[in-house]
């Protein structure tokens, strides 16, 4: 389970990120993939050369780097979220298509393209193939949200019906079912409002007993993906004007907290706690990656502009989980 989000400031700067909801860690850390980094395509066996500097949260398995979410130097960003029960990937390569593994879709998009519009066109030429990195690592069931510096956003899903690309007018995404279903389901919540209802529509009496927030009565409060989609879409639709980068980062993480999964709230079928192991936010204009972890609420910051990306090796940073404190006396 996960939640992805994009927001825009008053001066049209875009911030993009996500909650990573998992019952386990995947040896994650912030990675920078430099231009000219090379890796083997697990579908074709060919060597792939990266073309743009990419920063995001990822892992390296058998010398193969993959990202959970990332952005490139041009401000194009992508996040992969669980799509269990719906995702379908081809068992064999499809002739006439550019065949790639699902876990390489983020690198493919961010290595080659600058805008969502470019990706939307290029998606027509690819196919996603069920080719695991190794025998111990099955292919994750994913779908993807992409955003760019213009604020344009799309969702990419591959089901048994093929690859579908949806325009994303609400700027959010969670998990299953399919994205078009989520958009239709929002029509069930047209009554929601941040404005307090002062009087009952039935009796015209004052509603003091309900207190502030009565306009949100009926909003789903559980951890299910359908409910998280409604909550984060509602908050984003009513976001006030954001007037600085610092305000954007603060607002972004607080919005993600609204759909955060906490220990004790949800269990997997195996009886393991599912929780938000980290939350991330990316400044698409400046190439700055922010994240905080479940056990360390401090916001950690990595600026791709401060790194020498002339190397051909992956640059990685420690994943910080131990809580630190600001002692004021």
What whole-number distance in Å separates Cα of residue 152 and Cα of residue 27?
A: 31
Whose CA is closest to 4, among 262, 263, 305, 276? 276
Flag whether 219 is in a domain: no
Q: With helix as H, strand as E and coil as C, how does 123-184 read?
A: HHHEEEECCCCECCECCCCEEEEEECCCCCEEEEEEECCEEEEEECCCCEECCCCCHHHHHH
Residue tagged active-site, from 1, 2, 70, 314: 2
CATH code at position 63: 3.60.60.10
Number of other CB atoms surrounding residue 243 within 10 Å: 11
| Distance separating alpha carbons of residues 135 and 121, to the nearest angstrom | 33
Domain count, the chain: 1
The residue range of the domain holding 146 is: 2-174+242-317
Using the structure block, give the residue that is written with the tokens 């972004």: 252
Q: Is 2 a catalytic residue?
A: yes
- List of residues 6+ apart from 66 with CB closer than 8 A: 58, 59, 60, 103, 104, 106, 107, 133
Of 23, 111, 19, 36, give the one whose Cα is nearest residue 73: 111
Report pLDDT for 203. Answer: 53
CB-based burial of residue 191 (10 Å sphere; 0-12 exposed, 13-18 middle, 19+ buried)? exposed
Task: Kindly state whether residue 70 falls inside one of the protein's structural domains.
Answer: yes
Q: Is residue 138 part of a domain?
A: yes
Q: Global pTM?
A: 0.94
Q: Is residue 212 part of a domain?
A: no
Decide: residue 258, CB within 10 A, 0-12 exposed, 13-18 middle, 19+ buried.
middle
Alpha helix (H) residue ranges in the chain: 105-112, 116-122, 179-185, 225-237, 245-257
Adjacency order of strands within the sheet including 77-82:
162-167, 153-159, 142-147, 77-82, 64-72, 54-61, 29-33, 315-317
Residue 195 within a domain: no
Q: What's the confidence (pLDDT) of residue 266?
A: 85
Asked whether residue 131 is assigned to any structural domain, the reply reads yes
Does some domain include residue 170?
Answer: yes
Q: Is residue 18 part of a domain?
A: yes
Q: What is the pLDDT along the chain (329 residues), one digit of tens a residue?
A: 799 999 999 999 999 999 999 998 899 999 999 999 999 999 999 999 999 999 999 999 998 999 999 999 999 999 999 999 999 999 999 999 999 999 999 999 999 999 999 999 999 999 999 999 998 899 999 999 999 999 999 999 999 999 999 999 999 999 999 999 999 999 999 988 888 766 655 556 665 656 677 788 889 999 999 999 999 999 999 999 999 999 999 999 999 999 999 998 888 888 888 999 999 999 999 999 999 999 999 999 999 999 988 888 999 999 999 999 989 99
CA distance 46 to 104: 13
């Amino acid at each position: 389970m996960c939640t992805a989000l994009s927001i825009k400031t008053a001066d049209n700067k875009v911030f993009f990120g996500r909650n990573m909801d998992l019952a386990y860690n995947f040896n994650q850390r912030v990675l920078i993939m430099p231009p000219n980094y090379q890796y083997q395509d697990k579908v074709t066996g060919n060597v792939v050369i990266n073309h743009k500097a990419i920063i995001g949260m990822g892992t390296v398995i058998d010398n193969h780097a993959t990202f959970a979410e990332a952005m490139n130097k041009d401000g194009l960003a992508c996040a992969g979220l669980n799509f269990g029960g719906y995702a379908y990937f081809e068992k064999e390569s499809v002739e006439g298509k550019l065949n790639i593994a699902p876990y390489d879709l983020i690198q493919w998009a961010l290595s080659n393209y600058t805008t969502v519009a470019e990706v939307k066109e290029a998606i027509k030429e690819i196919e996603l193939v069920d080719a695991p990195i190794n025998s111990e690592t099955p292919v994750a069931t994913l779908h993807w949200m992409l955003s760019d510096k213009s604020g344009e956003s799309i969702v990419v899903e591959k089901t048994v019906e093929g690859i579908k690309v949806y325009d994303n007018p609400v700027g959010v995404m969670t998990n299953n079912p399919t994205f078009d279903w989520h958009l239709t389901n929002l029509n069930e919540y047209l009554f929601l409002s941040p404005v307090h209802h002062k009087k009952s529509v039935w009796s015209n009496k004052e509603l003091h007993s309900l207190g502030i927030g009565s306009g949100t009565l009926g909003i789903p409060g559980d951890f299910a993906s359908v409910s998280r989609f409604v909550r984060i879409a509602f908050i984003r639709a009513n976001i006030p004007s954001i007037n600085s980068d610092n305000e954007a980062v603060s607002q972004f993480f607080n919005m993600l907290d609204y759909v955060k999964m906490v220990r004790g709230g949800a269990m997997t079928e195996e009886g393991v706690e599912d929780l938000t192991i980290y939350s991330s936010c990316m400044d698409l204009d400046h190439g700055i990656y922010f994240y905080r972890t479940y056990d360390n609420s401090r916001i950690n910051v990595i600026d791709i502009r401060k790194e020498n990306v002339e190397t051909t090796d992956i640059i990685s940073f420690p994943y910080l989980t131990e809580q630190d404190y600001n002692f004021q006396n």
